[in-house]
C-alpha cells in the first residue's frame, strides 16, 4: 500500500464530493431526471467558460473536442494559422493536416509565448485564412498566451479564433466572450476537478457561420447533432452519464466558491511554486509562466530519474518534459483539486529526491520559500 499524491498537469485529483457522485447508480440518459442534471451542468459550463453561448459536452478526452473544432469549421484545402508554443499547440497542426487543411505556422520555440503581432502579420498577408488556432496555457512548457490580445486582432478579420483552454480553464482568468474567442475547447480532467472522459466545446455565431461551409466528413463529431440534442437537454449519443452527474457537482462547487476566487487561489499557488523552485536553485522555464503548472530546468544528469523516483519512493506524481524537453524540465501542477498543503508535500519530497540523486541542495529551502509566499497570501 502506498499513499498517492497526484500533482500532474492532468489528470488531477478530484474532490470526495465529486468522487461520490461517480459511485451513484446509473441513470438512463433519456429521462427527465437526467435532463435536469444535464441542464444544470450545461449552465455551470457557461459560467466557467464565461460565455453566453451553449457549451456542448461529448464523450472523449480534450483532443476529441480539438478534433471537433477542426472538422466542423473547415474543408480540405482551407487555409488556417496555427500559433503554437509547445506540444499541444503542435497538435492543432497534426489534426489540421490529417484532414488536408493548409497550415501557416507562426509557432515559436518551446518555452516562449506566441506573438500576437506575428498572427496579425500572417492574417494581413493572407485574406483567405479561415481560422486561427492557438493554446491558452501550454501545459507542455508551462507558458500562458495572451488570448485577449489575439482575440482583438482576429476579431477584426473574417477568421474565427479557436482556443485550446484544456488545462487553463478554471485555473486562470479566461473570458471566452469578452476576449472574443469563437471556439473554446476544454476537457474534464484538469482544472475542472473531474475524472478523464468528457470534453467540452463552445461555438460563437461567427463559428456557426463558418461551420455552414465545412466539407470535412464527420459523423460522431458533427457538432450540428450536438446542437440539435442540446435544445432538449440531451446528447446525440449515450453520454458518460456518471461523469456528467459528477460534473454538475464539480461545477456547483466552482460556482459556490466563485471563479475569480479560484483564479486567485492558483495565482498564489503559482507564486509559491516559483519561489520554491528558485530557492533550491532550479531555474524557472518559460517566458511567461502560467498559473496552473510550474516548470523548472533540472540538471541533465539526473533529469530522467526525478519523476520516476518521486513516484516510486514517495508516491508523488509530477510530470517531466515532453519531446525535446524530456529529462530537461520538471512540471509541477497546481490545477484542479490541488491545494496549499499538497504543494508543500510535493516540494518536501522533491527536495529529498534531488538530494538522493546527488544534487547539492539545502533541504527545507523550497518548502520554506513556498511557506513564506503562502503565509503572505
Residues that bind ligand PLP (CB under 6 A): 10, 61-63, 88, 135, 139, 164, 166-167, 187
Query: Three-class SS string for 92-145?
Result: HHHHHHHCCCEEEECCCCECECCCHHHHHHHHHHCCCEEEEEEECEECCCCEEC
Q: Which is nearer to ligand PLP, 168 or 344 (CB)?
A: 168
Q: Which is nearer to ligand PLP, 63 or 75 (CB)?
A: 63
Contact 268, 114 (CB under 8 A): no
Q: Which is nearer to ligand PLP, 167 or 295 (CB)?
A: 167
Least distance (Å) from ligand PLP to the CB of residue 141?
A: 10
Distance CA 71, CA 82 (A): 15
Least distance (Å) from ligand PLP to the CB of residue 293?
A: 9
Q: Which is nearer to ligand PLP, 139 or 235 (CB)?
A: 139
Q: Which is nearer to ligand PLP, 18 or 185 (CB)?
A: 185
Contact 209, 66 (CB under 8 A): no
Least distance (Å) from ligand PLP to the CB of residue 164?
A: 5
Least distance (Å) from ligand PLP to the CB of residue 1?
A: 29
Least distance (Å) from ligand PLP to the CB of residue 242?
A: 17
Least distance (Å) from ligand PLP to the CB of residue 69?
A: 11
Least distance (Å) from ligand PLP to the CB of residue 237?
A: 18
Q: Which is nearer to ligand PLP, 148 or 305 (CB)?
A: 148
Q: Which is nearer to ligand PLP, 72 or 167 (CB)?
A: 167
Least distance (Å) from ligand PLP to the CB of residue 139?
A: 3
DSSP per position, 182-236 = SEEEEESSSTT---S-EEEEEE-HHHHHHHTT--S--STT-HHHHHHHHTTT--S
Distance CA 221, CA 211 (A): 13
Contact 303, 265 (CB under 8 A): no
Least distance (Å) from ligand PLP to the CB of residue 257?
A: 22
Long-range pairs for 203-211 at CB < 8 Å and ≥24 separation? Answer: 203/53, 203/54, 203/56, 203/72, 203/227, 204/53, 204/160, 204/177, 206/160, 206/182, 207/73, 207/160, 207/162, 207/182, 207/183, 210/73, 210/74, 210/130, 210/131, 210/160, 211/72, 211/73
Long-range pairs for 346-354 at CB < 8 Å and ≥24 separation? Answer: 346/5, 346/7, 346/316, 346/318, 347/276, 349/5, 349/310, 349/313, 349/314, 349/316, 350/306, 350/310, 350/316, 350/318, 351/280, 352/314, 353/306, 353/309, 353/310, 353/313, 353/314, 354/280, 354/302, 354/306
Least distance (Å) from ligand PLP to the CB of residue 184?
A: 12
Q: Which is nearer to ligand PLP, 208 or 337 (CB)?
A: 337
- The residues, any chain, with a CB within 8 Å of residue 60's CB and separated by 6 or more, are 197, 198, 199
Q: Which is nearer to ligand PLP, 131 or 353 (CB)?
A: 131
Q: Which is nearer to ligand PLP, 95 or 254 (CB)?
A: 95
Amino acid at each position: 500500500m502506498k499513499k498517492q499524491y497526484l500533482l500532474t498537469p492532468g489528470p488531477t485529483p478530484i474532490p470526495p464530493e465529486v468522487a461520490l457522485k461517480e459511485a451513484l447508480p446509473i441513470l438512463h440518459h433519456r429521462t427527465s431526471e437526467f435532463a435536469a442534471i444535464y441542464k444544470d451542468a450545461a449552465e455551470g459550463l457557461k459560467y466557467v467558460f464565461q460565455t453566453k453561448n451553449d457549451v456542448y459536452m461529448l464523450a472523449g478526452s480534450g483532443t476529441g473536442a480539438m478534433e471537433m473544432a477542426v472538422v466542423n469549421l473547415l474543408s480540405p484545402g482551407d487555409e488556417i494559422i496555427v500559433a503554437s508554443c509547445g506540444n499541444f499547440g503542435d497538435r492543432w497542426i497534426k489534426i489540421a493536416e490529417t484532414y488536408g487543411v493548409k497550415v501557416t505556422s507562426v509557432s515559436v520555440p518551446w518555452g516562449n509565448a506566441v506573438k500576437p503581432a506575428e498572427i496579425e502579420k500572417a492574417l494581413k498577408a493572407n485574406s483567405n485564412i479561415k481560422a486561427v488556432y492557438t493554446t491558452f496555457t501550454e501545459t507542455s512548457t508551462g507558458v500562458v498566451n495572451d488570448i485577449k490580445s489575439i482575440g482583438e486582432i482576429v476579431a477584426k478579420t473574417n477568421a474565427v479564433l479557436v482556443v485550446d483552454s484544456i488545462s487553463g480553464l478554471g485555473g486562470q482568468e479566461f473570458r471566452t466572450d469578452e476576449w472574443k474567442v469563437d471556439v473554446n475547447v476544454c476537457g474534464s480532467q484538469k482544472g475542472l476537478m473531474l475524472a478523464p472522459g468528457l470534453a467540452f466545446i463552445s461555438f460563437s455565431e461567427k463559428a456557426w457561420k463558418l461551420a455552414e461551409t465545412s466539407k470535412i466528413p464527420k459523423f460522431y463529431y458533427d457538432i450540428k447533432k450536438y446542437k440539435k440534442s442540446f435544445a432538449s437537454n440531451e446528447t446525440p449519443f449515450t453520454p458518460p452519464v456518471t461523469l456528467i452527474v459528477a460534473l454538475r457537482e464539480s461545477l456547483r462547487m466552482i460556482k459556490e466558491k466563485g471563479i475569480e476566487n479560484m483564479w486567485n487561489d492558483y495565482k498564489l499557488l503559482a507564486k509559491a511554486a516559483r519561489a520554491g523552485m528558485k530557492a533550491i536553485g532550479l531555474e524557472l522555464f518559460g517566458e511567461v509562466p502560467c498559473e496552473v503548472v510550474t516548470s523548472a530546468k533540472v540538471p541533465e544528469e539526473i533529469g530522467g530519474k526525478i519523476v520516476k523516483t518521486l513516484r516510486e519512493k514517495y508516491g508523488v506524481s509530477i510530470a517531466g518534459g515532453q519531446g525535446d524537453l524530456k529529462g530537461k524540465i520538471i512540471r509541477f501542477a497546481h490545477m484542479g483539486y490541488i491545494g496549499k498543503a499538497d504543494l508543500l508535500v510535493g516540494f518536501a519530497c522533491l527536495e529529498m529526491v534531488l538530494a538522493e540523486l546527488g544534487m547539492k541542495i539545502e533541504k527545507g529551502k523550497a518548502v520554506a520559500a513556498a511557506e513564506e509566499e503562502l503565509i503572505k497570501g
